[in-house]
Structures are given as structure tokens and as C-alpha cells.
Structure 1
Amino acid sequence: MYFLSKFTWSNIMPELPEVETVTNALNLSIKNLIIRRVMIYRSDLRINVSKNMNQFCEGARILYVKRRAKFGQIYLDNNYVIVFHLGMSGRMIIEKLHSFKKKTHDHLYFDLECSGQKEQSIRLIYNDPRRFGFINIYKNNSNQFKNIFKNIGPEPFSDNFNASELHKKFKKKSTSVKAALLNQKLVAGLGNIYVSEALFASFISPKKIVSNLSLVKLTKLVSQIKQVLIKAIEAGGSTIQDHKNIDGKIGYFQNYFLVYGREGKKCKNKKCDSKIKRIIQNGRSTFYCPTCQK
């Protein structure tokens, strides 16, 4: 028997699609721009902002922006990398410098410009009401930089994330498939929402013990994880509480949830009349169809 506390939409951390949406938009907006000024208004985030942020950023050109797991990485031409994590409520925002207005919970500003075009300057803002995220700068490939990512598994879209590898790793393991997929050491970037959705699409119970999953089932699961993530990225992620893109637009994948947040509602499988159930696994809400998912 599971104890079910009242489900709320609080404490939703951005997962891979939300971070991918942000980093893709940043890459289009700030790639090749020069950081002219850094202003730190609050440094006591989850990890304290480096006192050397200004020194290592100002004058550097932004080479590109990418995502690793649930982290964003802004690569500079001086061999430094700005790493950020959005936590529960963090946002990266871009505004025109000439029309900028300070907002509550703005913690860092980066003033950016195209070389010699000050009239087109923009401001990149890190805003985080709960301060559960962080933003900091690291020497590329330094031990400090590598330590952030040393315990993170392969990306879901990489060749290293495949059914054969999972089948090997799951032998003699007694954990549930839901718990296994939330382990960032196994695969990077997955969270509660997209694991729940992928398991439903694969017709696999979240309670299923991983050692009991066949290679055929795992092949289906890996495929569905990738498909769900692709659809979510195309939709701009899921905006349940705080997630917005750099221009303030929300994601809309939440409109296509099949199980997540749908406790007590009819299963969307046309051949099924069951209702979606919610249980607690490892302190997290799990949504599934007890008829479709075995």
C-alpha cells in the first residue's frame, strides 16, 4: 500500500527538453557576441558565484551554447565555460539593453554586443526566485569543471544509450524501472515527467523490476524515450509552473501529457477504460495506467 499525499505542481525541476529549449534559443541569440560587462547582484545561489566571474568573462566572445544533462554550458573563446543550472525556478532572459527594466530576483547580468555595434547591445539575465539553481564560470576541462559532470551518464540521444547496454546493466538489479531511469548515472537529463510518459508509451509498469525486462521491451523503451523527448523539445518543453524560454514564451508539451498529472482521469488509450493512478516511488509521484502498463 502506498501513502498518497495531495499532488501539487510545485517542485517541478526543468528536465532535458526545457534546458534544451533554453540552450538552443541562447545559441541562436548570443553566439559570437562579446561580453562587455558582468554585474553580480546576488552571489549566494546554490553554488556561490565566483568572485572572478567578471575577470574571466569581460572581453570574451561567446563561441556557442550547449546542454549537458540538465545543465547549460556557454563556451567562451578564452577557454572558459559559463555553466548554469535552472534549479526549480531559474530563468535565462534576454532583453534589449536600451529598454531593460530590473526585475525582482535578477541575480546576474551579462551585457553583450556585436563587435562595434553598441546600439544593438542586449542583456542576458539570470533570474531565480528560489535560488536553487546556480551560474558559475570554470576553466574548460579543469578538474573543477569535470567534477560537475563526472557522475552523469550518457545522453539519451547518444549511441551509448541503447537497449543492449541497459540489458547488461540491469542484470540481477532489483530496482524499479522508474527509479532506474531517474538515476542520472544511468542516463542524463531524464526526470519525473518524461520517464512517466515514456513508460506509458512503452506499456511498461513503473513498478517493473529492471532485471525482468527483456531486450525487446528495452528496445521499445529506449525508442519511446527518444521520441517523447523529441516531441517535448519541438513543443518548447512543458510549462507547469516556472519554465519559460528566453523570450518569455511558455512551452506547451503539458497539453499532450498522456499520464503525468492525470490522476483519476480516463486512460487515453482508446482500447482502455481504466483511470490513471498515482503512486509514490522514492518520494516522487508516479502516474501510470494499471491496465495498459504491465
Structure 2
Amino acid sequence: MPELPEVETTLRGIAPHITGQTVRNVTVRDGRLRWPVPESLAETLCGQEVQSCRRRAKYLLVEFKTGILLIHLGMSGSLRIFTGQNTDAEPAGKHDHVDFLFSDGILMRYYDPRKFGAVLWFAGAPEHHPLLQKLGVEPLEDGFDAAYLHGRLKTQKRAVKTALMDNAVVVGVGNIYANESLFAAGILPNRPAASLSKKECAELVAEIKTVLMRAIEKGGSTLRDFVDSTGKSGYFQQEYNVYGRQGEPCRRCGCPIEKSTLGQRGTFYCRRCQK
């Protein structure tokens, strides 16, 4: 599933092309996504100008004067930008479900083989959308610090990795980056969240920010289908220390990386380096 770095990479790829542009046409080839694409989407968007683009958690928000276009990439989705002659160079494929054509000829195409994503319209402020109302802090913003994290974890008996992946605590720290951040901070994923000291929370916050920023610099991770807005793969997977490396030697101590299951998700760690 595309996680925060992949969504941020997508945002940075599409925003310069569509911000300030007017929607000329919307083509919905198959609206049967996780939630149905609104039948009136073309009527709603045509003639409207994109005011801004931003990310909230793993959601992309394309903001117009009368509301927001909310896009989620699901398990395997992506947004591609085609410009100039490239607009006609690649005909739509089987999994190209929605096209957005803009006034300057730029085409933004939503691709989603598994149809677990979403393309929704909301005529209101983003913070009032039901999918966004209860989200926690953004991990790359100043509000995510040691005091905040310690305050949220100090009464929680569940595993710290499970707490980090709870969007009500902090958004966008998905499975890959939770594993990598906990390794970098030297904290076992199955430790009770309440057992972390404020000092450990400070280290964990710093490593989460570092890991996410490094992943964004590398264009995110490409494990199966993810590509950026130009069709390029991400490369952060080449730097994984633990994720997907069970049985391989730890890059720090040489001990085999172990794997367990927490919250039905694969969890990777080094028993010697993490306590």
C-alpha cells in the first residue's frame, strides 16, 4: 500500500502541473472503487480552477473554491501526469479509471488495479470530511514531538508498533516505516507503548521524521505497483534495515533479522539491537 512518502511523492509530482489550472473535462471509465466515484463529478468540476493541492495523512486533497477532490491511492493506485504530446501517447488501459483534463492540455490519470482507492468530492472544509475528522497529528510537523508522543502512549498497553500505526495517534506511519523507525530508535516493536520513557519517545520521534524524509527523498518505496507521477519507481526499499529481511544479517550487529506478526501485519526486528 502506498504510505506517506509515496503519497507525498505523488503530491509533489502533480501539484506544480495542476495548481492554478481549470478542469476542462473529467472521464470516469469505471467508478466502482472502494466508494463509488460520484456520477456528477464531471459536472461538478468542469470550469473550476484548482486552488491548491496538499496531503492529509495518506489522502491527496485537490482544493477548489466550492470544495475538495479527495483522492486515496488504495493498495496499488497511482496518479500519472501527461503533458504536451504525451497526453495522446499512452491510450487508457484496463485499470486507468479516471482522467482529469485541464485547460492547458495536461492530463492527470488515476490508475488502480485493485480498486481499493477513492476519488471523492466534498463540498465543504477538508477538516469536516468524515474520513479526515478524527486523524491525529502529521509526523513531519512540529506538533509531533516527544511530549506529544509520550502523552499519547503513557496509558496504552498495546504494542508500540500498533500504536504508531493508529491514525488517531499519528498519521501516515505505515507498516514499512514503523518497522524501520523502531529499528533506528533501538525499540522492539512489541514493547508495551506505555513502557517508553520520554527520552525514548524523543529518539523515536526523531527517527520517524528522519526515515520518512529519507524515503521521500528516494521517491518512496516500490514493492509492487507504486510509481510516481512520471511513472518512475521509488528506491527507498534499497535502504531497508529490517523490513522484508527476515533471516538476513542485521546491518549493525550481524544477527539474523526476525519476523513476527503484530496486528496482522508482518513485523521485522533485530533482537540484539532493539530493546
Q: TM-score range by the shorter chain?
A: over 0.9
* 1:98 and 2:96 are equivalent in the alignment: no
Q: How many residues align?
A: 272
Measure, in 2, the Cα distance between the counterparts of 1:246 and 1:67.
15
Q: Deviations over 1:85-106 (max 9, x none)?
A: 0001111112233334121111
Give the structure 2 partner of residue 16 of structure 1.
4
One-letter amino acid of the counterpart of residue 276, structure 1 = I
Measure, in 1, the Cα distance between the counterparts of 2:269 and 2:130.
35
Displacement after TM superposition at 1:171 (Å):
2.2
Give the structure 2 partner of residue 227 of structure 1.
210
Q: Any conservation in 2 of the 1:56–1:80 contact (CA below 8 Å)?
A: no
Measure, in 2, the Cα distance between the counterparts of 1:164 and 1:110.
43
1:69 to 29, 46, 57: 57
* 1:278 and 2:272 are equivalent in the alignment: no
Q: Any conservation in 2 of the 1:35–1:111 contact (CA below 8 Å)?
A: yes
* 1:124 and 2:108 are equivalent in the alignment: yes
Q: Any conservation in 2 of the 1:97–1:111 contact (CA below 8 Å)?
A: no
Q: Any conservation in 1 of the 2:189–2:269 contact (CA below 8 Å)?
A: yes
Measure, in 2, the Cα distance between the counterparts of 1:179 and 1:155.
17
Give the unaligned 5+ runs of structure 1.
Answer: 1-12, 115-120
One-letter amino acid of the counterpart of residue 274, structure 2 = Q
Give the structure 2 partner of residue 191 of structure 1.
174
Q: Helix, strand or coil: the match of 1:147?
A: coil
Normalised to the residue count of structure 1, the TM-score between the two structures is 0.90
Q: Any conservation in 1 of the 2:68–2:126 contact (CA below 8 Å)?
A: no
Q: Any conservation in 2 of the 1:72–1:85 contact (CA below 8 Å)?
A: yes
Q: Helix, strand or coil: the match of 1:148?
A: coil
Q: Any conservation in 2 of the 1:36–1:58 contact (CA below 8 Å)?
A: yes
* 1:31 and 2:34 are equivalent in the alignment: no
Measure, in 1, the Cα distance between the counterparts of 2:113 and 2:262.
28
Give the structure 1 partner of residue 271 of structure 2.
290
One-letter amino acid of the counterpart of residue 28, structure 2 = I
2:150 to 157, 167, 171: 167
One-letter amino acid of the counterpart of residue 263, structure 1 = Q
Displacement after TM superposition at 1:246 (Å):
1.1
Measure, in 1, the Cα distance between the counterparts of 2:49 and 2:220.
28
Measure, in 2, the Cα distance between the counterparts of 1:243 and 1:205.
29
Measure, in 2, the Cα distance between the counterparts of 1:98 and 1:43.
22
Give the structure 2 partner of residue 7 of structure 1.
none
Normalised to the residue count of structure 2, the TM-score between the two structures is 0.96
Give the structure 1 partner of residue 227 of structure 2.
244
Measure, in 1, the Cα distance between the counterparts of 2:134 and 2:155.
22
One-letter amino acid of the counterpart of residue 247, structure 1 = T
Give the unaligned 5+ runs of structure 2.
Answer: none
